[in-house]
Chain A
Amino acid sequence: MKGWDAFVSSFLNLQVIGTYWPVIVQGFFVTVELAVLIVIVGLALGLVLAVIRAFGIRPLNWLIIFIVDVFRALPPLVIIVLLYFGLPAAGLSFSGFTATFISLALILAAFSEEIYWAGITAVPHGQTEAARALGLRFLHVLFLVVLPQALRMVIPPLVNRTIAITKGTALGSVVAVSEILGAAQSSVAFSLNPSPLTLGALAYLILFLPVVIVGRRIELRFARPFAR
């Protein structure tokens, strides 16, 4: 089986893997660091925006809606490229890591704001009215009555969206971040063998497969839309 041997020596070459696995492992930790930062900042910023929107200050809300729309409409790679290759013209230089982090955190903030907001508006109005009738102030109504119910409703879409955006960390490879894909690509360039890419793909599966499966569980548990 000559074809099989050729396949193994290109894609599962143990010698190459033996040399380059530490680089991929380093990349793995860069990806994890980037992902954690994006998730924390993105989800928190999104919630802050949704809470501000709940105050119902018209011009401010239009601004929030517009900015959110911009970050939902633009491809992540376009935003990263703008920050990394465009902003230096304004004298502002970011590292690839920072550019990827800022871009994806803002995108997650935009998507999650929209999801939080949908949840807030879905809480029946009677809840707010009852709480007001009991003498609670606006902030108490928002944080003690509305948000807890809203958050529970939006967990499934929020989890799915967060996973999808976090996978965008691979885009960092385009702006020279040595995350998994970047590390794998430079290893391929050095070794002239694509096995590091196989290893990189495997690293992504190790990282995201459990997340995808847990995400599906959460979705089944919290909401079965249209289930009869």
Chain B
Amino acid sequence: MSWEDFQDAFLDWSIVVQAWPILQAGLISTILLSVMTVPLGIIGGLILAALSRAESRWVSIPLGIWVDVFRALPPLVLLIFLYAGLPFAGLDLGPWGSVALAFFLNTGAYYAEILRAGLESVPRGQSEAARALGLRPTPIFFLIVLPQAVKNVLPDLVSNTLEVVKLTSLASVVALPELLYQARQAQSVTYNATPVVAAAILYFLMLWPVVRLLSRLEHQKIAGNR
């Protein structure tokens, strides 16, 4: 295959121009989807992590099972179950609803695990001192414990957030018109793989800075741990 053939099949600029409106709409949906799913996951994770501080076994054991189940289930399986399974029970969440719930459950479990480790890393003396100063439990959690916890597990939080943004591509499977879905549509209209290559380049440009940042944070973490 000559370079010209390769270019025609994968890097045809006229096709990029032609498909750009579709790709742009997909890119915006992917960003919207990320802006929706990351906070959903963090809120879910925060709730689970805060609950896991309870001393009672009646809370901690079901919570542990919950987190493990949603960590063990591939996100796509969860998504398909919600999208294609629930309508049989008369509950049709649609693509956006299914994706939101799947991410809340899956991503929430991952954030919970990370935040729990973070919360455990904050010495007890911190909350005891805060209480001695007269602070109530809610401000103690949000103003004293949580900021230190987040700082301690920052690389893991960034890494998980990167994974969540990448996971939004799964929404293409349930016909939610995000970047990958739109690129596939454009490919089937133009009979050319260029739109998918273009989508890959867009993902890369969007996420490369995060990957670089993460690489630095992880090196610091492993170096600091030994």
* Same complex origin of A and B: yes
Chain A contact residues, CB within 8 Å of chain B? 6-7, 10-11, 69-70, 72-79, 81-82, 85-87, 89-91, 114-115, 118-119, 121-124, 153-154, 157, 164, 167-171, 173-174, 180-181, 185, 188, 193-194, 197-198, 200-201, 204-205, 208-209, 211-213, 216, 223, 225-228
Q: Using Cβ atoms and an 8 Å threshold, which residues of chain A touch B222?
A: 118-119, 121-122, 153-154, 157
> Cβ of A122 and Cβ of B84 under 8 Å apart?
no
10 more CB-based (< 8 A) A-B contacts, given A77-B180, A82-B197, A194-B84: A69-B212, A75-B166, A78-B199, A79-B200, A118-B223, A121-B219, A197-B81, A201-B78, A209-B72, A225-B117
In the assembled complex, the CB of A161 is this many whole angstroms from the nearest CB of chain B, namely: 9
In the assembled complex, the CB of B186 is this many whole angstroms from the nearest CB of chain A, namely: 12
> Cβ of B89 and Cβ of A6 under 8 Å apart?
yes
The CA-CA distance from A90 to B214 in the complex, in Å, is 34
Q: Using Cβ atoms and an 8 Å threshold, which residues of chain A touch B184?
A: 81, 85
Q: Using Cβ atoms and an 8 Å threshold, which residues of chain A touch B210?
A: 73
Instruction: Confirm or deny: B207 has a beta carbon within 8 angstroms of a beta carbon on chain A.
Output: yes
Q: How many A-B residue pairs have CB under 8 A?
A: 172
**With A76-B166, A86-B193, A164-B163 given, is the CB distance from A212 to B68 under 8 Å?**
yes
Partner of B192, one of A89, A173, A223: A89
> Cβ of A81 and Cβ of B72 under 8 Å apart?
no
The CA-CA distance from A228 to B166 in the complex, in Å, is 34
- Could you say which of B36-44, B96-104, B133-141, B167-175 contacts chain A? B167-175
> Cβ of A7 and Cβ of B89 under 8 Å apart?
yes
Residue ID in chain B nearest A209 by CB atoms? B72
Instruction: Show 20 residue pairs from A and B whose CB-CB distance is below 8 angstroms, ordered by the A residue.
Output: A10-B85, A74-B200, A76-B169, A78-B169, A78-B180, A85-B187, A85-B193, A89-B10, A90-B1, A90-B5, A153-B222, A157-B218, A157-B222, A167-B72, A173-B80, A181-B74, A198-B85, A205-B69, A227-B121, A228-B121
